[in-house]
Every structure is written in C-alpha cells, then in structure tokens.
Amino acid sequence: MRFELTILGCNSAIPAYDRNPTAQVLNIQENLFLIDCGEGTQIQMSKFHIKRGKINQIFISHLHGDHVLGLVGLLNSYALGGRTTPIDLFGPKDLEEFVTTSMRLMQNHSTFPLHFHEVDTEHNQLVFENNLITVHSIPLKHRIPTTGYLFKEKAYPLNIRPEKITEHQIHYSHIKAIKAGADYNDNGRIIPNAELTLPAMPTRSYAYCSDTMYKEDIIPIIKGVDLLYHETTFLHEELELAIRTQHSTARQAAQIAQQAKVGKLITGHYSSRYEDLEVVRVEASQVFSNTVIGKEGEVYSVAFKQKN
Ligand SMILES: [Zn+2]
Ligand SMILES: [Zn+2]
C-alpha cells in the first residue's frame, strides 16, 4: 500500500538550474494530495506521470507566488477538461479571494464545485479527514500567514489470527468487530480480543514545513513522523539573511529533524545561489544523518516499520 511523496518543484522564489517553484504530490493508497502549486506544476505533473485527474484535495501553505502561481492554471485546465468531481482547496485566508478574483477576471466558468477551507495559520488543527487519513495544520513563521501540513494514516484494523477463526468457528459476520478490538463470545465463553488478533500495521506519516524560519514549537506536532520535508533555503553562513527573510538554514532544519526524532529529513526550497546542492546535504547531515536532498521527480516512499 503506497505512501509516497513525489517532489515536483524544490527551488525557492524563482526557477533556476532546471529547478521549479514548490509543488509536491503525496500518494497515500492511491489518494493523491497536491501540496502547494508553484508555476510549472502542470508541466512537472506530465513529466513525472502524475494523474492530475485523481487529485481531489489541494493544500496551499501560503500566498507567495512560488507556492501558488500554478494553481489558477491547474484549475483552468480542469475546467477546460470538463472536470465534474469537486475540489477541496485548503489554505490561509485570502486564498479564496485570490482564486475567485482570478477566475472572475478570466471569465472562467468552472465545470466542477470548488470548496474553500480556510486554515487558521496560528493553531495546530484538524483540517481534513477521510476514511484513510487525517491532515492537521502546522503553524509556521514566515513573512505572511503560512501553514504546514501533517498527513497521518488512521489506525489500521487488527489482524485476525486465521487459526482462531477455525478453532472457534467464528462466523464472518463477527470478523469486522474483532478486527476493531471486540472480544468474541464462543457459546458463553468470552475469548479476549488479544487472543484472537495480532497487532495492526503501524501507521505512516508525513510533515510538510515550508516556508518557515526556525520554529521549535512545531517539534511536538511533528514528533516521530516517518518523513519530514523542511525547507532549507540557505546555508547557515547566511543565518542573518535567513532570519531577515524568515526562512531556515540547512543546519536549522536538521536540528528540527533531530529534536523531533523523525525518520528521514528531505531538504528543499533552495536559494538560487546554490547550484550544487551537495553543500546543503553536507551541512544538514552533520546534525541529522538520515538527510536526503529533495530533488524533482524523486519519489520518497515510506515502508511499514516493524513494531518493536
Ligand atoms: Zn517560498
Ligand atoms: Zn514564502
């Protein structure tokens, strides 16, 4: 069962060295979630074989152009293609005005319902859930209201031990309840659930944190996630610039990853001053060894971990 992140854009501000502005697609068991939508996102989707028609939810971090300038184009293409499936659009205040004003001025007649969900960028809140996952906001600190997103799978059902079905001749109509944790009544004898089942598969999680300056209070929110994307706009030698523009350095992102004890750190949102990203990897991995350089077209999968 898939849990994989594809990076479509990982540069900051303006495109450079064939790197695009920010966009990512998270595939959780064939549910596709688009996270940010910088200019060029549609072309990147085609290049990396993302089925854009399968995206029903779009999560926007903030209204800087490098995260949002591809959005109206994408929605326009959906309308041109005659899409009828609704889109849920999540993001900070003013996202709705940005989109609806653009659509109105273009006299774009949408063929599908567009549902806006304003995200409170000051608090950690549940913003979306379906039968598989929850998505919570992660309050970030940037020059304008900005939010990250935490994607978490919901608990899997317990695994029933096949031999116990035979032993107690359990009818299939009871299986669902047992998988949800119920005991079983075998002709008056109560068989505890723990005897009937094996632990469920562990859930997987992904935290997206871009753009933000170093912000320690996100650590409890992202604690123990399997995958963390944290922006690394600058190297630490540019700390002053990072503070002034409210971005993070590679070292700071790694410090967040280390304190939050995440599984893997993916870097990104690179300043155009860095053509070769090896310097970013070296700086971050000195603090947090399981760091990988975020690259466009790369797919980062999360496998099921064995429970200790
Ligand atoms: Zn940005
Ligand atoms: Zn920004």
Q: So what's the pLDDT on residue 131?
A: 93
Q: Kindly state the average pLDDT of the residues 133-161.
A: 96
Ligand at shortest distance from the CA of 246: 2
Instruction: Determine the distance separating the centroid of ligand 1 and the alpha carbon of 91, expressed in angstroms.
Output: 14
Q: So what's the pLDDT on residue 109?
A: 81
Average model confidence (pLDDT) across the chain: 95
Report whether pLDDT(51) > 80: yes
- SS percent in the chain: helix, strand, coil, step 5: 30, 30, 45
Question: Left, alpha or beta for 70 (phi > 0: left; psi -120 to 50: alpha)?
Answer: alpha
pLDDT band, very low/low/confident/very high, at 306 (cuts 50, 70, 90): low
Instruction: Determine the distance separating the centroid of ligand 1 and the alpha carbon of 36, expressed in angstroms.
Output: 10
Q: Kindly state the average pLDDT of the residues 258-267.
A: 98
Q: So what's the pLDDT on residue 107?
A: 84
Residues designated as active site: 66
191 - beta bridge partners? 184
Report whether pLDDT(15) > 90: no
Q: Are strands 114-118 and 87-91 parallel, antiparallel or unpaired?
A: parallel
Q: Ligand 1 (ion): which residues have CB within 5 A? A: 64, 66, 211
Tens of pLDDT, residues 68-114: 999 999 999 999 999 999 999 999 999 999 999 999 998 888 899 99
184 - beta bridge partners? 191
Report whether pLDDT(21) > 90: yes
Closest CA to 294 of 247, 227, 226: 227
Instruction: Determine the distance separating the centroid of ligand 2 and the alpha carbon of 65, expressed in angstroms.
Output: 8
Report whether pLDDT(17) > 90: no
Q: So what's the pLDDT on residue 181?
A: 93
Instruction: Determine the distance separating the centroid of ligand 1 and the alpha carbon of 218, expressed in angstroms.
Output: 18
- The helix (run of H) or strand (run of E) holding residue 26 is strand 23-28
Q: What percent of the chain has pLDDT over 90?
A: 92
Instruction: Determine the distance separating the centroid of ligand 2 and the alpha carbon of 59, expressed in angstroms.
Output: 15
Ligand at shortest distance from the CA of 140: 2
Sheet containing 3-9: which strands, arranged edge to edge? 114-118, 87-91, 55-59, 31-37, 23-28, 3-9, 299-301
Q: What percent of the chain has pLDDT over 70?
A: 99
Q: So what's the pLDDT on residue 241?
A: 96
Ligand at shortest distance from the CA of 233: 1
Q: Kindly state the average pLDDT of the residues 238-266.
A: 98
Q: Kindly state the average pLDDT of the residues 211-227.
A: 97
Q: So what's the pLDDT on residue 308?
A: 42
Ligand at shortest distance from the CA of 212: 2
Q: Kindly state the average pLDDT of the residues 273-300.
A: 96
Name the H helices within the chain.
41-47, 65-68, 71-80, 95-105, 162-168, 175-179, 193-196, 219-222, 239-245, 250-259, 278-287
117 - beta bridge partners? 90
Instruction: Determine the distance separating the centroid of ligand 2 and the alpha carbon of 87, expressed in angstroms.
Output: 24
Report whether pLDDT(2) > 80: yes
Instruction: Determine the distance separating the centroid of ligand 1 and the alpha carbon of 42, expressed in angstroms.
Output: 18
Say whether the peptide bond before residue 18 is cis (omega within 30 degrees of 0): no
